[in-house]
Structure 1
Amino acid sequence: MGLMTFLRNRAGYILIGAIGFAIVAFLVGDAIQVGKPFWAESQKVVGSIDGEEISIDTFGPKVDQSLAQFKQQYGGSGNAQMQAMAVDNVWNGEVASILLGKEYSRLGLNVSSDELFDLMQGENPSPLIVQYFGNPQTGQLNRSDVITSLKQRAKNPQLNQQWSLLETEITKQALQQKYANLVRNSLYVTTLEANDEYLNRNKLANFKYVGLDYASIPDANVKPTEADYSDYYNANKKRFENPAETRSFEYVSFSVSPTKEDSLAVKTQVDKLAADFKTAPNDSLFAALNSDVKVPYTYLSKGKLDPAVDSVVFNLPAGSYYGPKFSGNSYKLIKVIDTRFSPDSVKASHILIDPTKLGGVDKARKLADSLKTLVQGGANFATLAKQYSVDGSKDKGGDLGTFTRGQMVPEFENAAFDGKAGDLKVVTSQFGVHLIKVEKQIGSSKVAKLAYVEKSLAASNKTKDAAYKKASAFLSEVKDNNFSELAQKNKYTVGVADKVTGSQGFAPGLDNPRQLIRDAYAADKGDVLKEIYQMDNSFVVARVTGINPKGTLPLEAVKKDIEPLVRNAVKAKQLTEKINAALQGAGNIDQVAQKLGKPVAPVQNMVFANPIIPGAAQENKLVGTVFGSQPGKLSKPVDGERGVYVFTVDGFSNPAPLANTYKQKEAMMQVAAQRSLGSAFQALQDKSKIKDNRVKFY
């Protein structure tokens, strides 16, 4: 009966609950059926900026593109730090795009069609148009090239896409310039401000002081109390603003450096390679199969190899063999196949023909040969390039500008550098068939074709396994609260990484820390991370020691950092008491100095804008107090950066009245204008709600 009564009384609630559950199940089921559960979308959010979410689907490709640009700019295959730079670059761009876009809309800023026309092909071209269509030597815009390219836009989908991207960037730059002008035009310098700045830089003060250095009291004699820490913290809270969340961790690194046995094994392998290399029937194939570092089998100029072998190799005749030579962390074996003198750079044009559009390489070469005959007969190469070439350079008549060795594919490079000015050459590369016109060759220096083998001195698997076992044993034994003690017991060195941001690509002592940093951001303070992290030459076990949230850091988070400053504040109190005792009954600075047993230090021609005391330090508080004092009076003690001071002002020398207030204002306006856009953007960020989840993805 009890159960039946309960069901009757609660039937309405049960029914409502059942219907609610059915609705949720229907929605979830529908979401699952279409393959996009509602919770899955939140897992794709890299961050949100003022309410607008950024998906990894759009953010990721932009990072890849940015990373590719960095690789091209700096070289290499891209490391953790370069990846972090790319992620930061894209993130900052997204923040700027969203916040500034909203600001443009709020202010009613836009770029009209007439303005865009003028920026693209009118009398006031965008710097981007000048960059792409300007003459590299004169800097002058070739407007006819712009118009020709715009006419071809409708016929070429790839060119149309490039123009669309360029229009977007031109519009973005124009809007930013309008916004910057608005911000600059809002700045104003008053006559009072101009006169104050003039006085601060030209009024001179002469004074004498006596100082007691903080170093005169041994640190061991000063024990700051909790009240001392609290007083300093409360008086300097603005210093402890944390612009972004950071984590701190400690770690033990288990080295994987090669042992003596590893070195001997590699040396034995290299000696065998050297013997085989000397008699190898195919030098280029042998090098490609056996070298840890791939050096192109083509002519190289001096300065491209390791300095330890570069100068030697380029002094050897063709047919010579050099090595094994150990330098850096690897052995080098080199055969000099050929040497010659070659141009330092070449200026060339080309017509690129796509074999797939003509039915094969043979037909493409036949067309190239026909075009070559036409040019030899007097036809204009640039005109033919615009008509037949599929390369982006066709809009410039096939002009590729001037390039050095290593910038073109080998087939193209060999044709351009091995010929002479005026040559017309037909070559086939991975991009298609080229008709090359060698316009000009510049300079001449020795080049060498080398077969190059490099073997790195690396740790053996046995050495790696031993280091990994040590790391595993430490990880299995360590607890959240005994990390340092256990490391000390095992005589392991504990490394420390403080205030690491979520997007940071480096950490002290660690060469590849991204996964470690990501896991640290998913852990709590005191947690030992459960993974053994592999760096380039070590295995690492780590523990999170601190989490500093965005905003004002609490006293405990900064206590260790401010300890020296708090100690100096305590010393300042002690030294102030000592100076106050010396001031009792003293009529001048000399009497104070005599009581303190310190010399009087004179300072001549001090300016407010440059508060550096000769032979001492930058003492802002002392100099500021000097300029606010009356001549001839003994000051009260002033606690500065390096010690506590007492002074007397001898006098001030005022400059001549400001002759040109307008010029002074203009100079101050220029300085303010340089900072204005950055300051305005920072203000927009401070007022916006920005959530950064990048650490979950990178």
Structure 2
Amino acid sequence: MGIMNYLREKMGKILAIVIGVALTAFIIGEVARSGSSFMRDSRNEIGEVSGEKVPYDQFSKKVDQNTKNFLSQSGQSPTPQITGYIQETTWNQFISEIILKKEIEKLGLVVSTDETRSMISGNNPNQQIIQAFGDPKTGQIDKQRLNMFLTNVGAAKEDDPMKVQWKEFVSQMIESKKAEKYLALVRTGLYINSLDAKDDYEAKNKLVNFKYAQLDYASLPDAKVTLTDDDYSSYYNEHKAQFKNTQELRSFEYVAFNAAPSKEDTAAVKTEIDKLAADFKTATNDSLFVQLNADTKAPIVFQHKGQLEPKLDSVMFSAAKGTVYGPYFSNGSYKVAKLIDSRVGPDSVKASHILLNPATEGGVDKAKAKADSIKKLLAGGKSFADLAKQFSTDKGSADKGGDLGTFGRGAMVKEFDDAAFEGKKGDIKIVTTQFGVHILRIEDQKGSSKVVKVAIVDKPLEASNKTQSAAYAKAQAFLASLNKDNFTIESQKQGLAIKKADDVNGIASALPGLDNAREIVRWAFKADKGDFTDQVFTVGNQYVIPRLTEIKPEGTLSLDAVKKQIEPEVRQIAKGKQLAAKFEAAMSGASSIDAVAQKAGTPVVPVQNIVFANPVIPGLAAEYKVVGTVFGLPLHKLSKPVQGSHGVYVVQSDNFVTSGTFDKAAQQKQQMQLSQMMLQRTDGQVFDALKDKANVKDYRAKFL
């Protein structure tokens, strides 16, 4: 039973780790790029991968499971960002599992029974087995504990939750091993040859000194450049591959009416907290005062320096008992704190306990009476370990003679914590907690430091009903004034700033300026271009009214859809043509870069020690085309005009220098470095390639 109890306590952690890292190589680095088409069919399918449907109920179940595991491991509260992360990770798990399953089946990859056994109890066990059954100090597995656990799993009924969880764990472990084999096959076929190594070596070790003359794009006013349809079309056709939309995106603009606390709201909360501070000073029952008046009913426990928030930490450890600090403002609330007690106490306690369950003992009083009897037996010389095994309902510790190990302050519930840290070594105490009645024995206490017990009364600064109603009324009035064509005019008339949310995907939850905008995103993916909402959305302390401005469907976007986006680049190319013509005119009859620069009215700038692999021109940042042109020029040859990132250039090389010698040792070193870099990218690139081939269809926008 002890091992079974251990599993129930630890299996959640095991599964959380496995689920989180299963097929990690394919999931790490994968960004939220899946498509999102708001379709009316496939009502029960959240997506499709290589023709295989992904049922919504299975996806939802996995999200719930991953959410519980994530929160239990991290201790964080669920936020829109965390929820979105978990949903995205779960979606990628489904994609990777389906894709890999098909590829692995094609190749006939399997994990044998012997391999599975080796991953569980062999010489090279799975990392999660080590974490669950190993000694953190030595990393060695406790074979006896593992074998007892496996025996109990084998004897358990098929529907026992422990056995179900174990089977799922083993299944995930096997699938992960298959993925490792698949990746190993891919990696085996990758290599860097000597020519690759030589090219890379020269790119990093060949230096050039050159001169350049530049005509900056900014030197030509925008007004002197007229863009034609041909300019846009040429750029669009040359860069068409860049405009492939992997998922449907939508853009909207919105106005927001602020319902944040007003000055009057702030004054009201300050008045209330000032009165509470005065009453707190004279209160005789601090715990009751906190329970009656604090918005956050936190337990009042002893804490070490560093556990309080900084404002209190610097005051309470040198203050006298009864000191009241505040009111002060912290984390959205006004607070007042009172030092109830301070003392020097141990940093950690080693303890054992025997736990009695009042429900099976006939009530708390009878459980306490039995605890007194057990305490007398202990006083008479009976073994604590034997009595723990006989009477304790906490089987996890009972099998170890009641041993709870060593724990720090705050690790246990308040009543147990207080008894363990306020007693002394050798004490045996009877403590009642939410878990039952404990016979606690303090085995040892280590360390010594000052701790304080601080009571805090807080009042959050929130908008009053009056403030919220006024902001909501303004939002409703604005909404009532809208028609299909006057969103911008009405916003300007009322002095409202129009904010934009561009290229939003269908599963977005948080947007710039809107932390929890899921409802607005859902609306946007149901609306038509030009629509404005028929309701006021509440997002935090804002009332929001959006209008859908653009829909970018999945696939290659049209020129009209990207015209505004590419305008700066098109304008720069048009400027580049004019500036290049100016250089060409200056080059007529000129034999040196100095003569060209003089005619063009721009200085000649010398540059030294530039390498091909790092094409940064000092003072100008990266200029790939310019540096690439220099390395392709014969010595002292004057280049044609080059359109770079910051302007149009004419360059002339002075000399090339190669540092070091590309001998056999340098070649091997370069090949090794390039191989490592290639392998680091391989997993993600393989997944991307398989994903593109799998024709992934994403319907999450209509469910999440």
TM-score normalised over the length of structure 1: 0.86
Partners of 2:530 and 2:401 lie apart in 1 by 65
AA in 2 matched with 1:299: F
The secondary structure found in structure 1 opposite 2:192 is coil
Partners of 1:180 and 1:375 lie apart in 2 by 63
Deviations 1:437-489 (Å, cap 9, x if unpaired)? 65654543333223321111221111111111110011111123221111011
AA in 2 matched with 1:455: K
Aligned to 1:8: none
Partners of 1:502 and 1:375 lie apart in 2 by 68
Shift of 1:403: 4.5
Q: Which of 639, 645, 658 matches 2:643? A: 639
AA in 2 matched with 1:575: L
Shift of 1:380: 8.5
Partners of 1:482 and 1:382 lie apart in 2 by 82
Return closer, same or farther for 1:130/1:336 CA change in 2, 3 Å cut-off. same
User: Is 1:375–1:381's contact at 8 Å kept on the other side of the alignment?
Assistant: no
The secondary structure found in structure 2 opposite 1:188 is coil
Aligned to 1:535: 539
Equivalent pairs counted in the alignment come to 660
Return closer, same or farther for 1:627/1:402 CA change in 2, 3 Å cut-off. farther
What are the equivalent positions in structure 2 for 1:294-305 lying under 5 Å apart? 294-305=297-308
1:675 paired with 2:678, answer no
The secondary structure found in structure 2 opposite 1:105 is helix
Q: Which of 193, 198, 202 matches 1:195? A: 198
Return closer, same or farther for 1:498/1:441 CA change in 2, 3 Å cut-off. farther
Return closer, same or farther for 1:478/1:362 CA change in 2, 3 Å cut-off. same
Deviations 1:130-166 (Å, cap 9, x if unpaired)? 1112222232332222112212324564443443233
Shift of 1:573: 0.5
Q: Which of 539, 544, 549 matches 2:548? A: 544
Aligned to 1:691: 697
Deviates more, 1:49-58 or 1:415-424: 415-424
1:574 paired with 2:569, answer no
The secondary structure found in structure 1 opposite 2:686 is helix
The secondary structure found in structure 1 opposite 2:640 is coil
Partners of 1:103 and 1:513 lie apart in 2 by 38
Return closer, same or farther for 1:354/1:166 CA change in 2, 3 Å cut-off. farther
1:308 paired with 2:311, answer yes
Deviations 1:84-105 (Å, cap 9, x if unpaired)? 1121121122212221222222
Q: Which of 217, 221, 224 matches 1:221? A: 224
User: Is 2:371–2:437's contact at 8 Å kept on the other side of the alignment?
Assistant: no
Deviations 1:296-334 (Å, cap 9, x if unpaired)? 222233344443344223433323333333445322122
Gaps of at least 5 residues in structure 2 are 1-38
Partners of 1:433 and 1:172 lie apart in 2 by 45
1:105 paired with 2:110, answer no
The secondary structure found in structure 2 opposite 1:173 is helix
Q: Which of 246, 249, 254 matches 1:246? A: 249
Partners of 2:130 and 2:609 lie apart in 1 by 51
The secondary structure found in structure 2 opposite 1:198 is helix
User: Is 1:48–1:691's contact at 8 Å kept on the other side of the alignment?
Assistant: yes
User: Is 1:205–1:604's contact at 8 Å kept on the other side of the alignment?
Assistant: yes
User: Is 1:386–1:397's contact at 8 Å kept on the other side of the alignment?
Assistant: no
Aligned to 1:273: 276
Aligned to 1:96: 96
Partners of 1:589 and 1:386 lie apart in 2 by 96
Return closer, same or farther for 1:476/1:572 CA change in 2, 3 Å cut-off. same
What are the equivalent positions in structure 2 for 1:84-233 lying under 5 Å apart? 84-154=84-154, 157-233=160-236
AA in 2 matched with 1:296: P
What are the equivalent positions in structure 2 for 1:26-41 lying under 5 Å apart? none
Aligned to 1:610: 614
Partners of 2:170 and 2:361 lie apart in 1 by 33
Deviates more, 1:71-80 or 1:52-61: 71-80
AA in 2 matched with 1:642: H
User: Is 1:349–1:400's contact at 8 Å kept on the other side of the alignment?
Assistant: yes
Partners of 1:383 and 1:215 lie apart in 2 by 86
User: Is 2:385–2:400's contact at 8 Å kept on the other side of the alignment?
Assistant: no
Aligned to 2:482: 478
Return closer, same or farther for 1:626/1:338 CA change in 2, 3 Å cut-off. same
The secondary structure found in structure 1 opposite 2:633 is coil
Return closer, same or farther for 1:163/1:332 CA change in 2, 3 Å cut-off. same
Partners of 2:530 and 2:379 lie apart in 1 by 76
User: Is 1:149–1:395's contact at 8 Å kept on the other side of the alignment?
Assistant: no
Partners of 2:242 and 2:403 lie apart in 1 by 57
Deviations 1:655-698 (Å, cap 9, x if unpaired)? 52332334432222111111111111111111112222222232
User: Is 1:207–1:650's contact at 8 Å kept on the other side of the alignment?
Assistant: yes
Aligned to 1:52: 52
Deviations 1:341-395 (Å, cap 9, x if unpaired)? 3334445566656555666656766479759967996958599669966455678
Deviates more, 1:563-572 or 1:289-298: 289-298
Aligned to 2:604: 600
Partners of 1:382 and 1:62 lie apart in 2 by 43
Aligned to 1:456: 460
Deviations 1:11-56 (Å, cap 9, x if unpaired)? xxxxxxxxxxxxxxxxxxxxxxxxxxxx999433222222333333
Return closer, same or farther for 1:187/1:576 CA change in 2, 3 Å cut-off. same
Partners of 2:171 and 2:631 lie apart in 1 by 54
Q: Which of 641, 658, 666 matches 2:663? A: 658
Shift of 1:254: 0.3
Partners of 2:154 and 2:387 lie apart in 1 by 20
Deviates more, 1:355-364 or 1:290-299: 355-364
Deviations 1:528-585 (Å, cap 9, x if unpaired)? 0222111221111111111122222222222222222222111111110011111111
Partners of 1:386 and 1:225 lie apart in 2 by 91
What are the equivalent positions in structure 2 for 1:72-87 lying under 5 Å apart? 72=72, 75-87=75-87
Return closer, same or farther for 1:345/1:71 CA change in 2, 3 Å cut-off. farther
Aligned to 2:516: 512
User: Is 1:198–1:658's contact at 8 Å kept on the other side of the alignment?
Assistant: no
AA in 1 matched with 2:248: E
User: Is 1:382–1:396's contact at 8 Å kept on the other side of the alignment?
Assistant: no
The secondary structure found in structure 2 opposite 1:138 is coil
Shift of 1:633: 1.2
User: Is 1:352–1:391's contact at 8 Å kept on the other side of the alignment?
Assistant: no
Aligned to 1:556: 560
Q: Which of 524, 528, 532 matches 1:524? A: 528
Shift of 1:78: 2.1
The secondary structure found in structure 1 opposite 2:247 is coil
User: Is 2:371–2:439's contact at 8 Å kept on the other side of the alignment?
Assistant: no
Partners of 1:95 and 1:226 lie apart in 2 by 41
Shift of 1:284: 2.3
Identity of aligned residues (%): 49
Q: Which of 487, 495, 498 matches 1:494? A: 498
Aligned to 1:622: 626
Aligned to 2:17: none
Q: Which of 340, 343, 346 matches 1:340? A: 343
The secondary structure found in structure 1 opposite 2:664 is coil
Aligned to 2:290: 287
User: Is 1:511–1:536's contact at 8 Å kept on the other side of the alignment?
Assistant: yes
Return closer, same or farther for 1:586/1:55 CA change in 2, 3 Å cut-off. same
AA in 1 matched with 2:663: L
1:325 paired with 2:323, answer no
AA in 2 matched with 1:167: V
User: Is 1:389–1:398's contact at 8 Å kept on the other side of the alignment?
Assistant: no
Aligned to 2:237: 234
* Alpha-carbon RMSD: 3.1
Partners of 1:439 and 1:563 lie apart in 2 by 75
Gaps of at least 5 residues in structure 1 are 1-38
Partners of 1:620 and 1:160 lie apart in 2 by 60
The secondary structure found in structure 1 opposite 2:469 is helix
Deviates more, 1:551-560 or 1:467-476: 551-560
